[in-house]
């Protein structure tokens, strides 16, 4: 069942905010971002209606808000293919934002890469962002023109320029010390990342990683959407699984009882992979990696202070993934 909570974004969150505002409980902007204000207003509504005040809008709270027969709608991302759902989940971990804003992650030159943008933080320094922006400009010129306006031609010129000239352009649109991107470029980036066209381009450029993730699923005999999400997150955050760690994982999987129900066996395998990959990370980040990977393996958890429910928010289940 769908649910909306801290970190959720989208049209359904707008509906929730509007309903809570009409009841005098929410005083923030109608921006489709489920933040602290929306959480507090939802909890106040729940208390007033005899519901557990957890600030999370699930089926019961949705029905109380919109009428007893109202069905809570599935999140928009849950209706996408498993590759995009996995991409959105990892993007949410990386950016701290839900759909669609996880596709709009933006940072400046703090790491020497000029500008990093998108769900997987493609960047100018390594030459990984330019192909996405060129593809958008060439394949969807009207959408691009509508977003960038009079800055569309200068952007195309910068993308066609030599590397150092492009990096100079990137640094000219951000603060030299804090590296915060100046307006209107910050707004342009957010608008671009929210378009279905640029999200599809990001999905296309993440395809190699997703295919690698599915290959790793086959290596360990995994079959679920959760497994695809876990392996995609490992490929993105950690690169892969080293041979020694892989051998440890296979040894532990080999010790599992052979008569376990299919889903329990899958879950146990995912937990082993999550724990062993976390232990192989830099000691400074072991706990962070473990929380993130176990959240995926178990289908729920708290990462960077944000509660996640993979099935409710992203439609990622302990069910077989469709062939990609």
- Per-residue pLDDT, averaged over 56-71, amounts to 91
Confidence of residue 323 (pLDDT cuts 50, 70, 90): low
Read off the pLDDT of residues 120-145 as tens digits, 9 standing for 90 and up: 999 999 999 999 999 999 999 999 99
Confidence of residue 276 (pLDDT cuts 50, 70, 90): very high
The DSSP call for residue 214 is H
Give the pLDDT score at 76. 82
Cα gap 151→187, rounded to integer Å: 12
Confidence of residue 322 (pLDDT cuts 50, 70, 90): confident
Q: 38, 16 in Cβ contact below 8 A?
A: yes
pLDDT at 324 exceeding the cut of 60: no
Rounded to the nearest 10 degrees, the angle between the axes of helix 286-298 and helix 262-279 is 170
DSSP string, 84-127: HHHHHHHHHHHHS--TTGGGG-EE-GGGSSS-EETTTTEETTTT
Give the pLDDT score at 141. 97
Read off the pLDDT of residues 211-249 as tens digits, 9 standing for 90 and up: 999 999 999 999 999 999 999 999 999 999 999 999 999
- Report CA-CA distances (Å) from 176 to 49, 122, 171: 51, 21, 7
The DSSP call for residue 321 is P
Read off the pLDDT of residues 151-162 as tens digits, 9 standing for 90 and up: 999 999 999 999
SS3 224: strand
Q: 274, 258 in Cβ contact below 8 A?
A: no
Cα gap 137→186, rounded to integer Å: 18
Scanning the chain, the segments in alpha helix (DSSP H) are: 11-22, 36-48, 59-66, 82-95, 130-139, 141-148, 152-160, 163-172, 185-193, 196-205, 207-219, 225-238, 243-254, 262-279, 286-298, 310-314
């Amino acid at each position: 069942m769908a649910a909306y909570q801290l970190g959720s974004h989208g049209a359904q969150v707008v509906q929730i905010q509007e309903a809570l505002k009409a009841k005098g409980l929410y005083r923030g902007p109608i921006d489709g971002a489920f933040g602290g204000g929306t959480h507090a207003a939802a909890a106040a509504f729940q208390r007033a209606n005899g519901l557990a005040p957890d600030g999370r809008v699930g089926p019961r709270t949705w029905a109380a808000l919109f009428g007893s027969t109202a069905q809570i709608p599935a999140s928009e991302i849950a209706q996408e293919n498993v590759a995009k759902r996995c991409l959105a989940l990892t993007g949410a971990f990386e950016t701290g934002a839900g759909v669609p804003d996880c596709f709009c992650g933006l940072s400046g030159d703090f790491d020497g890469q000029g500008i990093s943008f998108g769900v997987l933080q493609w960047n100018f320094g390594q030459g990984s962002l330019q192909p996405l922006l060129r593809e958008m400009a060439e394949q969807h010129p009207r959408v691009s023109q509508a977003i960038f306006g009079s800055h569309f031609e200068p952007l195309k010129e910068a993308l066609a320029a030599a590397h150092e000239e492009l990096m100079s352009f990137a640094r000219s649109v951000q603060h030299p010390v804090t590296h915060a991107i100046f307006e209107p470029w910050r707004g342009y980036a957010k608008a671009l990342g929210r378009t279905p066209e640029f999200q599809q381009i990001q999905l296309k450029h993440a395809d190699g990683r997703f295919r690698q993730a599915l290959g790793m699923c086959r290596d360990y005999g995994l079959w679920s959407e959760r497994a695809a999400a876990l392996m995609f997150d490992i490929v993105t955050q950690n690169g892969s699984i080293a041979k020694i760690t892989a051998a440890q994982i296979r040894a532990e999987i080999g010790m599992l009882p052979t008569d376990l129900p299919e889903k329990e066996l899958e879950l146990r395998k995912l937990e082993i992979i999550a724990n062993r990959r976390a232990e192989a990370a830099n000691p400074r980040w072991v706990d962070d990696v473990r929380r993130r990977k176990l959240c995926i393996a178990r289908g729920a958890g708290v990462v960077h202070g944000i509660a996640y429910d993979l099935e409710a928010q992203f439609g990622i289940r302990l069910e077989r993934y469709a062939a990609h």
